[in-house]
Amino acid sequence: MTKHWQAADIPSLTGKRILITGANSGIGYHAALKLARKGAHIVFASRDRQRGQAALDRLHTEAPGTDTELAILDLASLASIRTFAAAELAQKRPLHVLINNAGVFAPPKRLETADGFELQFGTNVLGHFALTGLLLPALQQAAAESSYRPRIVTIASIAHKRGQLNLNDLQSKNYGPMRSYQQSKLANLLFAFELDRRLRASGSTILSVAAHPGVANTNLFLAGDHSPLQKTMRNAVNHLLGILFNTDSEGALPTLYAATSDDVQDAGYYGPQGFQEMRGEHVGPAKIASQAHDTEAALRLWQACEQLTGVTFL
Lowest mean pLDDT among 189-198, 203-212, 281-290: 281-290
d(CA 54, CA 314): 37
Mean pLDDT on 45-65: 97
> What is the model's pTM?
0.91
Mean pLDDT on 235-252: 62
Q: Assign residue 228 a region: left if phi > 0, alpha if psi is -120 to 50, beta otherwise?
A: alpha
d(CA 138, CA 220): 29
More confident residue, 215 or 50: 50
d(CA 282, CA 78): 37
**224, 104 Cβ separation under 8 angstroms:** yes
d(CA 287, CA 270): 8
Number of C-beta neighbours around residue 203 at 10 A:
6
Report in angstroms the alpha-carbon separations of 285 from 163, 205, 268, 274, 299: 19, 21, 7, 12, 24
Banded pLDDT at 222 (limits 50, 70, 90): very low
**275 has pLDDT over 80:** no
More confident residue, 96 or 226: 96
Paired sense of beta strands 207-211 and 67-72, if any: unpaired
Residues with catalytic roles = 181
CATH superfamily of 12-215+252-306: NAD(P)-binding Rossmann-like Domain (3.40.50.720)
Banded pLDDT at 4 (limits 50, 70, 90): confident
Q: What is the pLDDT of residue 108?
A: 96
- Domain ranges in the chain? 12-215+252-306
**218 has pLDDT over 90:** no
Banded pLDDT at 211 (limits 50, 70, 90): very high
Lowest mean pLDDT among 57-71, 121-135, 138-152, 231-245: 231-245
d(CA 276, CA 173): 31
Banded pLDDT at 278 (limits 50, 70, 90): confident
Which DSSP state fits 118? B
More confident residue, 241 or 48: 48
**12 has pLDDT over 80:** yes
In tens, the pLDDT along 131-161 reads: 999 999 999 999 999 999 999 999 999 999 9
Banded pLDDT at 205 (limits 50, 70, 90): very high
Lowest mean pLDDT among 21-30, 46-55, 238-247: 238-247
Question: How many degrees, rounded to 5, is the angle at CA 161 between CA 157 and CA 164?
Answer: 110
d(CA 180, CA 184): 6
Number of C-beta neighbours around residue 145 at 10 A:
11
For the chain, the average pLDDT equals: 91
